[in-house]
Amino acid sequence: MEVTTHIAIVSVPVYSHLRSILEFSKRLVHLHHDTRVTCINPTFGSPCNNTKALFDSLPLTINHMFLPPINLEDLPHDTHPAIQVQITISRALPLIYDALKALHASSRLVAIVSDGLITQVLPFGKELNVLSYTYFPSTAMLLSLCLYSSMLDKTISCEYRDLSEPVQIPGCIPIHGTDLPDPLQDRSGVAYKQFLEGNERFYLADGILVNNFFEMEERTIRALQQEEERGIPCVYAIGPFVQEESCKEGSSDIECLRWLDKQQHSSVLYVSFGSGGTLYHEQINELAWGLELSCQKFLWVLRPPNKFGIIADIGAKNEDPFEFLPNGFLKRTEGHGLVVPYWASQVEILAHGAIGGFLCHCGWNSTLEAVVHGIPLIAWPLFAEQKMNAVLLTNDLRVALRPNVNENGIVEREEICGVIRNLMVGEEGKRIRQRMKILKDVAVDALKDDGSSTVTLTQLALKWKSLSLGDA
| CA nearest neighbour of 219 among 167, 135, 141 | 141
Cα dist from 460 to 35, 227, 292, whole Å: 12, 19, 50
Report helix, strand or coil for 7.
strand
Choice among 17, 32, 104, 373 that is catalytic:
17
| Catalytic residue list contains 74 | no
What is d(CA 457, CA 206) in angstroms, rounded to the nearest whole number?
A: 15
| CA nearest neighbour of 423 among 278, 296, 274, 272 | 296
| CA nearest neighbour of 138 among 439, 399, 437, 362 | 362
DSSP conformation class of 384? T
Choice among 6, 32, 104, 115 that is catalytic:
115
CB atoms within 10 A of CB 190: 11
Phi and psi angles of residue 277, each rounded to the nearest 5 degrees, phi first: -70, 145
Phi and psi angles of residue 84, each rounded to the nearest 5 degrees, phi first: -60, -40
Neighbouring C-alpha atoms within 13 Å toward the C-beta of 76: 4
Q: Do 275 and 80 contact (CB within 8 A), yes or no? A: no
For the annotated catalytic residues, the residue numbers are 17, 115
